[in-house]
């Protein structure tokens, strides 16, 4: 089986030409490479962004740095649901991202691979711990 390489420019072209695309699954890439795609693909319902139809986002095996997750969160303030599977982010970046998405009602993290261990996510709960 041949490994398919999709460049950010390819995804941008897909978003530009497929205006009615509502669902797309992408894995094994750096999340920061997808930021422009999310902004251009305004009809997607399963990806996040500034459009009112976007409700949830599920990513797996992405992230090589905190930068992509942080940039994603800053552009997804209306996101309701976020699922992360086998992604490499620090807990600090994950906590920051969650705090940037005030509409977020559901988050699921599976197979978490921390970049920087021993940083607590409990800080985002505040002084009461709840």
Token pair of 109 as six digits: 């993290």
Within a domain: 109: yes
Can you give the residue range of the structural domain that contains 80? Answer: 26-125
Predicted confidence (pLDDT) per residue in 45-93, tens digit: 555 434 444 577 777 777 677 888 888 888 778 888 888 888 888 888 8
Cβ atoms of 29 and 7 closer than 8 Å: no
Q: Report if residue 8 sits inside a domain.
A: no
Q: Are 101 and 126 within 8 A, CB to CB?
A: no
* Residue 52 covered by a domain: yes
For residue 88, is it within any domain? Answer: yes
Which pTM was predicted?
0.59
Give the position of tokens 């497929």: 18
**46 assigned to some structural domain:** yes
Task: Give a yes or no: residue 19 inside a domain.
Answer: no
Residue 53: both structure tokens together:
């139809």
- Residue 110 belongs to some domain of the structure: yes
Report the number of distinct structural domains present in the chain. Answer: 1
Task: Give residue-wise pLDDT tens across range 1-58.
Answer: 456 677 778 878 887 888 777 767 766 666 767 767 767 766 665 554 344 445 777 7
């Amino acid at each position: 089986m041949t490994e398919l390489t999709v460049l950010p420019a390819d995804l941008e072209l897909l978003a530009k030409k497929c205006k009615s695309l509502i669902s797309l699954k992408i894995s094994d890439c750096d999340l920061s490479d997808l930021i422009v795609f999310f902004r251009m693909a305004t009809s997607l319902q399963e990806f996040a962004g500034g459009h009112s139809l976007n409700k949830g986002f599920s990513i797996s095996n992405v992230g090589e740095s905190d930068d992509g997750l942080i940039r994603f969160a800053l552009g997804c303030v209306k996101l309701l649901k976020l699922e992360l599977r086998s992604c490499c982010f620090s807990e600090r970046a994950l906590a920051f991202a969650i705090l940037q998405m005030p509409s977020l009602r559901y988050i699921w993290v599976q197979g978490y691979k921390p970049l920087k261990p021993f940083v607590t996510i409990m800080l985002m709960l505040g002084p009461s711990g709840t």
